[in-house]
């Protein structure tokens, strides 16, 4: 935060110069300035082109566009959909071309849409080359999750920040002005089997995974559990902890006792529940919270992590568990949960994390 005053006037100048044409097409520049860029979030999404089914998009050299894709379902049944692109010139995508969903977009580039409803997906297309690019962009619908796209069309899966784009670097080394983050969970991706975990009515499986090749499976109609001792000491009182995991279940949880929890210690006052899932999800879903323990009354000497489900009618899957002591890393000025959700992917051990640059587009 100490650099913000230094660059405050510069940012005001940038915003002033671009404010008059906020709904136009934006040229892109990169400013290598070491500020806390996560404080600068887009408040609106300027749209350059709207597409109902599919259209040709032309973007000049060193230019960019924001595309609003209208996803509409006039039938009475739920449909699957996916946003796609097809390169025309050049024939294939390259490192100078960015095609991605804006993280400020309220809806995803693929998923399901209820009958007789519609929504918008916002796509950013950037051309960082010296030549004009041409492509088709559209929406494909299907009654099943297998959309059946032709080989020359590609689903849009990348994401990019809205008006402001924060460059994020996660490395195993030290980045200047970076922040050291430690994942307190061992083998949270289950790529090393059950190493570090004690399992009951649960197992590591390769049939489902949000990343890598493995995940944890919690069985249906049982008390299924996996536990891990995180440390020999209790969590630090009043420290803020960020917990995140990926979750999948193909059916509803149906009773009051049907829940999925990621928690620490059963004792009142020493409990942080980062995830509680009571409905189904057809795709992997990120579940996260920022929580703290504010009373030392019942803290034990050992700190346990538990994945727990009881009385559920559906098998559930868990992958990529991350737990970070934000207070240790950031002090009292840490990023929001939304920024952490989209910026921190799964990692093992300790990494260096740095907002390296601010892009205005």
Mean pLDDT by 10 residues, the chain (361 residues): 43 38 25 28 56 86 83 90 94 90 83 90 86 92 89 88 41 50 92 95 92 90 87 85 88 66 74 78 83 82 83 85 91 78 80 48 36
Q: For residue 311, what are its two tokens?
A: 């009385």
CA-nearest of 259, 349, 4, 30 to 167 is 30
Distances (CA, A) of 355 to 170, 185, 317: 9, 24, 32
Q: For residue 3, what are its two tokens?
A: 């650099």
Q: Quick check: 139 and 81 in contact, CB under 8 A?
A: yes
Q: At 10, is the secondary structure helix, strand, or coil?
A: helix
- Alpha carbon 305 to its chain centroid, in Å, reads 22
Q: Quick check: 275 and 284 in contact, CB under 8 A?
A: no
CATH among 2.60.120.260, 1.25.40.10, 3.30.70.270, 3.30.1380.20 for 171-360: 2.60.120.260
State the Cα–Cα distance between residues 203 and 117, nearest whole angstrom.
39
Q: For residue 186, what are its two tokens?
A: 């061992």
Q: For residue 267, what are its two tokens?
A: 């004792």
State the Cα–Cα distance between residues 36 and 30, nearest whole angstrom.
15
pLDDT at position 61, please? 82
pLDDT at position 231, please? 79
State the Cα–Cα distance between residues 185 and 189, nearest whole angstrom.
9
Q: Judging by DSSP bridges, how do beta strands 159-160 and 97-102 pair with one another?
A: parallel
Q: For residue 42, what are its two tokens?
A: 């887009």
pLDDT at position 277, please? 75
State the Cα–Cα distance between residues 334 and 186, nearest whole angstrom.
23
CA-nearest of 281, 322, 339 to 104 is 339
Predicted TM-score of the model (pTM):
0.54
pLDDT at position 167, please? 38
Q: Can the peptide bond before residue 290 be classed as cis, meaning omega within 30 degrees of 0?
A: no
What's the CATH fold of domain 43-160? Immunoglobulin-like (2.60.40)
- The residue extents of the domains of the chain are 43-160, 171-360
State the Cα–Cα distance between residues 157 and 100, nearest whole angstrom.
7
CA-nearest of 352, 348, 355, 356 to 174 is 352
pLDDT at position 174, please? 38
Vertex 49 angle, CA 44 and 55, to 5°: 145
Q: Quick check: 194 and 179 in contact, CB under 8 A?
A: no
Q: Judging by DSSP bridges, how do beta strands 63-73 and 49-51 pair with one another?
A: parallel
pLDDT at position 244, please? 92
Q: Which residues pair with 248 in a beta bridge?
A: 317
């Amino acid at each position: 935060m100490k650099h913000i005053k230094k660059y405050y006037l510069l940012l005001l100048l940038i915003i002033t110069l671009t404010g008059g044409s906020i709904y136009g097409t934006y040229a892109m520049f990169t400013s290598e300035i070491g500020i806390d860029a996560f404080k600068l979030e887009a408040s609106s999404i300027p749209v350059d082109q709207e597409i109902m089914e599919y259209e040709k998009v032309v973007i000049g050299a060193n230019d960019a566009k924001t595309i609003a894709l209208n996803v509409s379902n006039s039938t009475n049944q739920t449909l699957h959909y996916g946003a796609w692109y097809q390169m025309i010139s050049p024939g294939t995508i390259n490192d100078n071309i960015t095609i991605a969903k804006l993280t400020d977009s309220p809806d995803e580039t693929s998923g399901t849409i209820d009958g007789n409803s519609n929504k918008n997906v916002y796509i950013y297309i950037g051309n960082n080359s010296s030549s004009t690019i041409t492509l088709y962009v559209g929406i494909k619908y299907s009654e099943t999750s297998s959309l059946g796209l032709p080989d020359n069309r590609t689903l849009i899966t990348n994401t990019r920040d809205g008006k402001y784009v924060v460059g994020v670097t996660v490395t195993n080394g030290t980045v200047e002005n970076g922040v050291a983050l430690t994942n307190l969970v061992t083998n949270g991706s289950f790529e090393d089997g059950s190493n570090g975990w004690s399992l009951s009515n649960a197992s590591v499986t390769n049939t489902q995974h949000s990343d890598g090749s493995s995940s944890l499976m919690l069985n249906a109609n049982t008390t299924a559990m996996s536990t891990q001792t995180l440390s020999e000491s209790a969590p630090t009182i009043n420290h803020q902890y960020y917990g995140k995991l990926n979750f999948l279940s193909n059916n509803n949880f149906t009773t009051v006792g049907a829940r999925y929890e990621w928690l620490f210690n059963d004792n009142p006052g020493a409990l942080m529940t980062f995830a509680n899932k009571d409905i189904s999800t057809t795709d992997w879903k990120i579940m996260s919270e920022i929580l703290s323990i504010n009373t030392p009354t019942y803290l034990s000497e050992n700190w346990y992590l538990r994945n727990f489900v009881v009385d559920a009618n559906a098998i559930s899957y868990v992958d990529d568990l991350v737990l970070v002591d934000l207070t240790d890393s950031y002090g009292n000025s840490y990023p929001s949960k939304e920024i952490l959700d989209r910026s921190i992917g799964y990692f093992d051990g300790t990494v260096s994390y740095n907002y390296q640059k601010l892009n205005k587009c």
